[in-house]
Amino acid sequence: MENKIEQFITEAEIVPVILSGGSGSRLWPLSRSSFPKQYLNLDENNKYSLLQNTYLRLKGIKNLRNPIIISNAEQRFIVAEQMREIQVAPKSILLEPTGKNTAPAIALATLKALEKGEDPVLLILSSDHKIADEENFKKVLEKGIEFASKGELVTFGIIPYSPKTCYGYIESFDELSINNSSSKIKKFIEKPNLELALNFIKDRHYLWNSGIFMFKASVVLKELEKFEPKLTKTCKDSLKNGVFDLDFFRVNEENFRSCPNIPFDIAVMEKTNIGRVIKFDAGWDDIGSWQSIWNNSNKDKNGNTLKGKIINQNSKNCYLRSEGRLIAAIDLNDLIVIETQDAILISDKNSTQRVKDLVAELNKRNIPEGKEGNKTFRPWGSFTNIENDQTWQVKKLEVKPFSSISLQKHEYRSEHWVVVRGTAKVQLNEKTKYLKSNQSIYIPVGAKHRLTNPSKEPLILIEIQSGEYIGEDDIIRFEDNYGR
C-alpha cells in the first residue's frame, strides 16, 4: 500500500491555483484597485511582480503544471500580460464578476480542474505573499503533497515570531516541534486580541494562518458539497453558463450573484475532520502594509529605506519612497512617506494598517484617487494623464510591440498625436501613414482611426485631446483585437 501511495505522489500533477482578485488598498497610493499590489514589483532583489514570483518560486517541483488564476474582469489583461512576460500560459484565467471571498474562488478552480476527468493536487496560493527561503518552502510543499495524496486537506502554518493581532491562528492537536512538523487541526482562531496573541506565541500548538492550502481536487469537492452545497451548486451553474472571452473564461454573473460570500477557512477547514496543518519557517510575509514593506527592505545605518529622489537629513527608521518628485526629509522618525504623481501618503509606521480605512473614506466621498491612479492599463499598453482641464487633456501613450488600439472614432473630441519614441502606424479613415520620432498627425472629430505599433520596440507618443467632452466613454469601436 505504501508503495502505491509513493507512486501516486511521484505521478501526481500539481496545479497551482493563484487567487489574484484583491484590491491591495493597504498599500495605497502605490496600489490602487485599477492596478493593485500583486502586479507591482515590491522586492528590490528581483525584477518580477508579486504575482509573477508566486508562480516562479514553484519552479523545480516535480509534475508542476501551469496555473489556474482567479481574477476579475478589470484586471484580466494585466494578468495575461504578466504571465506572458514570464512565458507561462495559464491552464485557465477565471474571471469573477464580483469578489465573493476565497471559498467560491477555490470552488470554481476545483470544478475547472476536474472538467476533463483529471484529478490533480491543487496548491492554493495568494498572489501577494513574499517567501524569502524558496528552497525551504518547496521542501515543505513536498510534505504537503504526501498528505494531500492520502486524501487530507492540508494548510500551512507559519511559526509566529511576535504576537500579531492582524493574523488568524491555527491550533493543532499535537505540539509542533523539531521532530514533529505536522498535526491534525483542532481549530482556527480569528484575529485575537494582544493578550491572547501573547499566549499563543509561547505555545507550540499555535501557528499563523498563511492561507496556503493543498488537496486533491476530488477530495475538496466532496467536502465543499458536504458543508456548502448551495455554494458548490452556484459555482457549478456559474461555470456551466459562463463564456470564453479570448484567453479568459467569464463566470456567469447572474448565477454567481447569489453565491455565499465566505472564506474557505470557515466554509470547509473549520468543519472538516480531514484537515492537517504543516508548519513552516521560510521568511513568509503577506506584504499587508507599508510597515511590512519596510520590514522586508534593505535599510541604511539609521534604519531608513529610501526609494527614488530622496534628500534625507537625520531621519531614523523611516520608509521614504518617491515615484517622481523630490522628497526632502529632516529629523523624521518612524514615518512612512509615499509620493506618487497624484497623491502623497504620510503615516506613522505603526499606523499603516489603517490605510485601508483611509481608502474606504476616499471611496465613500467619491474621490477618484481612492481607486484610480494617473496611469491606466489597457490590453495594448497604457496611458498616463499628464495635464487636463474641462475641454482639453494631455496624455502619454505607451503601446506594446505589435499591438493596436481599436479601430474607433470620437463624437466630441479631436486628437493630436506626437511620436516621441518608436514607430507608429496610423490608419486615418481610408489612408495609412507611418510616423517616426518628432513626427505628428491630427485626428479630427468623427474620423475613423487606429494606432498600431508595428515594431518590436515600445511606441511612446503624446496625445493632446480637445473638445466639448473628453471622457473615456466617448469611443465608438468598429474593430478590436481584444473583444471589447
Q: Are 321 and 439 part of one and the same domain? A: no
Question: Of 342, 364, 386, which residue sits at a domain end?
Answer: 364
Q: Are 75 and 202 part of one and the same domain? A: yes
Mean pLDDT of 56-61: 94
Q: Which three cell numbers stand for residue 451?
A: 494606432
Q: Are 16 and 137 part of one and the same domain? A: yes
Is the pLDDT higher at 116 or at 141? 141
177 located within any domain: yes
**pLDDT tens-digit readout, 181-193:** 889 998 888 888 8
How is 259-298 classified by DSSP, letter by letter?
Answer: S----HIIIIITT-SSEEEEEE-S-EE---SHHHHHHTS-
413 located within any domain: yes
360 located within any domain: yes
Q: What pLDDT is stored for residue 5 in this prediction? A: 47
Question: In 3-state terms, the chain is what percent helix, strand and coil (to 5)?
Answer: 25, 35, 40
369 located within any domain: no
What is the C-alpha end-to-end distance of the chain, expressed in Å? 54
Distance in angstroms (rounded) separating the CA atoms of residues 27 and 49 = 14
Q: What pLDDT is stored for residue 176 in this prediction? A: 84
172 located within any domain: yes
**pLDDT tens-digit readout, 70-94:** 999 888 989 999 999 999 999 999 9
How sure is the predictor about 6, in pLDDT bands with cuts at 50, 70 and 90? Answer: low
370 located within any domain: no
DSSP three-state, residue 472: coil
Q: What percent of the chain lies above the pLDDT cut of 70?
A: 98
Q: Are 262 and 295 part of one and the same domain? A: no
Residue 447: give its domain's CATH number: 2.60.120.10
Domain count, the chain: 3
Q: Which three cell numbers stand for residue 223?
A: 467536502
345 located within any domain: yes
Q: Are 196 and 57 part of one and the same domain? A: yes
Distance in angstroms (rounded) separating the CA atoms of residues 307 and 318 = 11
DSSP 8-state symbol, 180: B
Residue 234: give its domain's CATH number: 3.90.550.10
Q: Are 256 and 299 part of one and the same domain? A: no
How is 102-161 classified by DSSP, letter by letter?
Answer: HHHHHHHHHHHHTTTS--PEEEEEETT-EES-HHHHHHHHHHHHHHHHTT-EEEEEEPPS
Check if the beta carbon of residue 101 is closer than 8 Å to that of residue 263.
Answer: yes
Q: Are 357 and 333 part of one and the same domain? A: yes
Per-residue pLDDT at 3 exceeds 80 = no
Q: Are 260 and 309 part of one and the same domain? A: no
Per-residue pLDDT at 53 exceeds 90 = yes
How sure is the predictor about 161, in pLDDT bands with cuts at 50, 70 and 90? Answer: confident
484 located within any domain: no
Q: Are 34 and 171 part of one and the same domain? A: yes
Q: Which three cell numbers stand for residue 165?
A: 493581532
Q: Are 18 and 128 part of one and the same domain? A: yes
Q: What pLDDT is stored for residue 10 in this prediction? A: 53
Q: Are 180 and 103 part of one and the same domain? A: yes
Question: Of 243, 267, 285, which residue sits at a domain end?
Answer: 285
Q: Are 179 and 207 part of one and the same domain? A: yes
Question: Of 247, 267, 285, which residue sits at a domain end?
Answer: 285
240: region left, alpha or beta (phi > 0 left; psi from -120 to 50 alpha) = alpha
Look up the domain containing 350 and give its range.
290-364
**pLDDT tens-digit readout, 424-480:** 999 999 999 999 999 999 999 999 999 999 999 999 999 999 999 998 889 999 998
